Chain A
Amino acid sequence: GGNESSEAGGNNNDNESNGGNNNAGNSETEELSGSVQIDGSGTVYPLLSRIAEEYMVNEQQGVSVEVSRAGTSAGMQRFINGETDLSNASRTIKEEELQGLEENGIETQEFKVALDGMTIVIHPDNDWATEMTEEEVTDLFISGKYADDDNVLWSDVRDDWPDEEVNFYGPNENHGTYEFFVEVLLDEQDLVDGINLQQDYSTLVELVSDDENSIGFFGFGYYINNDDKLGVVSVDFGDGPVAPSLDTIAEDGDYAPFTRPVFTNLSIDAAKEKPEVKDFAKYIFEVADDLAGETGFAPLPEEELNSYIEEIDEIE
């Protein structure tokens, strides 16, 4: 373990110093203090916590940015109650949530922060299912598509694949990832029965990496940090199989159909009242493209990020 860690550490350090250089230009701004409260999606958490740390270390030592990860909905609930300044989400804000915000007189703005690729993972020794078409992937997860009792065999998908039963895995309903997968990719059709849904990603990673006949879906970040234990399915969206990577899941990349943006919602009121919130919100988009990749996300195009910064700047 020791070797790996020092490697990882080395990478991090490099990136950090890059980040530091990048931001050097902004450092003439005034000293701020206070705190920024962030809650929401656990998927977005790694990215936002990196940014927060970067901000606190290199930008504004006086500000405490506190990041929680109660989950998209629970975070949104706190956001509606006015307890937080920013709320991370792995999906767009819902109608009811907007209503709640309105009732409480909280004005908000939703921003994309980065892009996440829905990664289809398999056992590393699985050498047959490394390439699948988009339809095969979605059908595999839809109840009743391949087998009425949902006891799907690999050979049901393609004849030359083994006669063994496929075991399904995924994050549970607690996660925005689940919502995106079912609502967007599966078009709200039922998931196969018997799919093993987990709250905890470490469990999921282990489950998939322990089971030769596993197939699962989760965010690219969880895959890339465990790529020694997991295999990945390259998905054919019509132009040949594409493996998810930071390049392919980028905006308009080849993996785009399975790519989703992750968001953060800014309380405009908080940004108006607390300069540190506004400053940090801007900072997010200043460094997002550098830090996204490090945490397993593809960055948004620079123009888009810059336009966000301008938007926030206009808040008075």
Chain B
Amino acid sequence: MSYSANVKDMIETNRKNSKLAKFEKMIPFLLFLAASISVLTTLGILVTLLFETVLFFQNVSFREFFLQSEMRPLNPTNPQFSILPLLGATLLSTGIAMFVAVPVGLTTAVYLSEYATDKVRRILKPLVEVLAGIPTIVYGFFAFTFVTPFLREFIPALDRTNILSPGIVMGIMIIPIVASLSEDAMSSVPNSIREGAMALGATKFEVAFRVVIPAAISGIIASFVLGISRAIGETMIVTIASGSNKNLTFDVTQSMQTMTAYIVEVTSGDAGAGTTAYYSLYAVAMTLFVFTLAMNMFARYMTKRFREVY
């Protein structure tokens, strides 16, 4: 064929003229730049939060922030900045959420991994996971316009905005996280262990709760921790449905403000930049960031541990 003598030469000349080599050398660097964006993001978050947090703590003592109990950032005469009411509300809503998500999520996981046939699991699991994909603003709307009025039929004392209803809805949102990750952890418990228990005359229930769950416990705990960290960071549901009372209370029928909702209030609210109230938002955000970071690290640690078990 006419060209044939040339292919080698063509390749040779192309190689000599190629600018590819130079370009190739730059690629790892360019990719590295892209990869460093994520580090920059973290750095950006830290710097953003740190600067203003430092400014905040120049005006407000650690003691006041962490140990006193009043949060009145904009009070004209006697502003007070204690994170405790916000922290209390956050922990309370998270607690309620986990109160819903842990039993429902865990038993769902038990059902999927221990009782359900393969076919049922393959249909049911993705369906349950749909719950995790619903935007939180929709959950907020649902909590505010449906769940609260619904609950008020049974609990007349329930305020129009309260921590109970968003807590429950947050719990529903977290069910798939707990169910799906716990199910993963439980399915990776080897079948031979299940058989061992069955052969002793254990019922499925006894196998699940006395063998499989203990064996998968670190994975399950990791799923709880991830759920908790989601609940702590959740913003729109509480912003819409839990109101803005900054009282330190444990009455779940009352309106309360979580850390995230506080940030929303202040960013879209009345505190002028440069005021202590404005900086307080960063101090709260910093606390939130550190909190969720610790949670995520812990969850990672737990997941790793459970991978190493058998």
Chain A residues within 8 Å of B, Cβ to Cβ: 70-74, 76-77, 81, 97, 172-176, 179, 182-183, 188, 190, 196-200, 202-203, 205-207, 210
Q: Contacts of A198 on B, CB cut-off 8 Å?
A: 161, 243-245, 255
Question: Are B244's CB and A203's CB within 8 A?
Answer: yes
Question: Are A210's CB and B243's CB within 8 A?
Answer: no
Asked whether B64 is an interface residue with its Cβ less than 8 Å from the other chain, the reply is no
Nearest-CB residue, chain B, relative to A96: B272
What count of chain B residues pass the 8 Å CB interface test?
23
Asked whether B189 is an interface residue with its Cβ less than 8 Å from the other chain, the reply is no
Min CB–CB distance B66 → chain A (angstroms): 22
Question: Are B269's CB and A196's CB within 8 A?
Answer: no
Asked whether B117 is an interface residue with its Cβ less than 8 Å from the other chain, the reply is no
Question: Are A172's CB and B159's CB within 8 A?
Answer: no
Min CB–CB distance B238 → chain A (angstroms): 12
7 additional A-B residue pairs with CB within 8 Å, beyond A73-B270, A77-B274, A203-B161 = A70-B269, A71-B271, A72-B270, A73-B271, A174-B271, A199-B257, A206-B159
Nearest-CB residue, chain B, relative to A199: B244
Q: Which residues from 236 to 261 on chain B have a C-beta closer than 8 Å to any C-beta of chain A?
A: 243-245, 255, 257
Q: Which residues from 98 to 147 on chain B have a C-beta closer than 8 Å to any C-beta of chain A?
A: none
Nearest-CB residue, chain B, relative to A81: B273
Q: Contacts of A173 on B, CB cut-off 8 Å?
A: 72-76, 270
Min CB–CB distance A83 → chain B (angstroms): 11
21 contacting pairs across A/B (C-beta < 8 A): A73-B275, A74-B268, A77-B272, A81-B273, A172-B74, A173-B72, A173-B73, A173-B74, A173-B270, A174-B270, A183-B76, A190-B77, A196-B245, A196-B255, A199-B243, A199-B257, A200-B243, A203-B160, A203-B243, A205-B160, A206-B160
Q: Contacts of B73 on A, CB cut-off 8 Å?
A: 173
Say yes or no: A203-B77 contact (C-beta < 8 A), given A70-B269, A74-B269, A198-B243: no
Nearest-CB residue, chain B, relative to A72: B270
Going nearest first, the 4 A-B pairs with the smallest beta carbon separation are: A206-B160, A71-B270, A173-B74, A199-B244
Residue with the greatest number of chain B CB neighbours at <10 A, chosen from A70, A74, A205: A74
Question: Are A175's CB and B245's CB within 8 A?
Answer: no
Asked whether B184 is an interface residue with its Cβ less than 8 Å from the other chain, the reply is no
Question: Are A202's CB and B269's CB within 8 A?
Answer: no
A64 to B272, CA, bound (A): 26
Question: Are B74's CB and A206's CB within 8 A?
Answer: no
Chain B residues within 8 Å of A, Cβ to Cβ: 72-77, 159-161, 243-245, 255, 257, 265, 268-275
Q: Contacts of A188 on B, CB cut-off 8 Å?
A: 77
Q: Contacts of B274 on A, CB cut-off 8 Å?
A: 77
Question: Are B75's CB and A174's CB within 8 A?
Answer: no
Q: Contacts of B159 on A, CB cut-off 8 Å?
A: 203, 206-207, 210
Min CB–CB distance A99 → chain B (angstroms): 12
Min CB–CB distance B149 → chain A (angstroms): 10
Q: Contacts of B243 on A, CB cut-off 8 Å?
A: 198-200, 203
Question: Are A77's CB and B273's CB within 8 A?
Answer: yes
Min CB–CB distance A26 → chain B (angstroms): 34
Say yes or no: A70-B270 contact (C-beta < 8 A), given A183-B76, A199-B244, A200-B244: yes
Residue with the greatest number of chain B CB neighbours at <10 A, chosen from A173, A182, A202: A173
Nearest-CB residue, chain A, relative to B73: A173
Nearest-CB residue, chain A, relative to B257: A199
Min CB–CB distance B80 → chain A (angstroms): 11
Nearest-CB residue, chain A, relative to B159: A207
Min CB–CB distance B237 → chain A (angstroms): 14
A72 to B268, CA, bound (A): 11
Partner of B161, one of A71, A176, A182, A206: A206
Min CB–CB distance B275 → chain A (angstroms): 8
Q: Contacts of B275 on A, CB cut-off 8 Å?
A: 73
Question: Are B272's CB and A203's CB within 8 A?
Answer: no
Q: Contacts of B268 on A, CB cut-off 8 Å?
A: 70-71, 74
Min CB–CB distance A70 → chain B (angstroms): 6
A136 to B160, CA, bound (A): 28
Say yes or no: A200-B161 contact (C-beta < 8 A), given A173-B76, A182-B76: yes
Partner of B244, one of A73, A172, A206: A172
Question: Are A179's CB and B76's CB within 8 A?
Answer: yes
Question: Are A174's CB and B272's CB within 8 A?
Answer: no
Question: Are A199's CB and B272's CB within 8 A?
Answer: no
Residue with the greatest number of chain B CB neighbours at <10 A, chosen from A176, A197, A203: A203
Nearest-CB residue, chain B, relative to A206: B160
Q: Contacts of A74 on B, CB cut-off 8 Å?
A: 268-273
Q: Contacts of A179 on B, CB cut-off 8 Å?
A: 76
Min CB–CB distance B243 → chain A (angstroms): 5
Min CB–CB distance A274 → chain B (angstroms): 24
A200 to B270, CA, bound (A): 13
A170 to B245, CA, bound (A): 11
Q: Contacts of B265 on A, CB cut-off 8 Å?
A: 174, 199
Min CB–CB distance B267 → chain A (angstroms): 8
Q: Contacts of B77 on A, CB cut-off 8 Å?
A: 188, 190
Q: Contacts of A77 on B, CB cut-off 8 Å?
A: 272-274
Q: Contacts of A206 on B, CB cut-off 8 Å?
A: 159-161
Question: Are A202's CB and B270's CB within 8 A?
Answer: no
Q: Contacts of B72 on A, CB cut-off 8 Å?
A: 173
Say yes or no: A76-B272 contact (C-beta < 8 A), given A173-B74, A182-B76: yes
A188 to B270, CA, bound (A): 19
